[in-house]
Amino acid sequence: MKFYREKDNNNNNNNWFKIVDNKLTAIYLNYWAARFYKNGERHNIKNAAYIRFDGFEIFCLNGKVYDIEKTLTKESWCKFVKLQVFK
């Protein structure tokens, strides 16, 4: 897994486009949030795939959003992911 940090003050998101366009597995960090990707799609099996500086979270698997904000915790998300594997 690679780690990309956005340094461009013009907010062009060049590294974000590189991750999505090339279908990379990576962590992307900019001023506002940390994002986790697998094959260019938001994905994280252990925690939220999008974590904003103010605590806002989005839980995703393979690019599909399953929960936004307060419903899931880290523990309940891990349990949900394990159940998805056996479907």
Tally of domains in the chain: 1
Residue 72 CA to residue 64 CA, distance in Å, equals: 15
For residue 66, the enclosing domain spans 2-85
Q: What is the pLDDT of residue 40?
A: 94
Tell me the DSSP string of 73-85.
-HHHHHHHHHHHH
pTM of the model: 0.84
Q: Per-residue pLDDT tens for 9-50? A: 666 778 888 999 999 999 999 888 999 999 999 999 888 999
Closest CA to 45 of 85, 86, 77, 87: 77
> Encoding tokens for residue 31?
């001023």
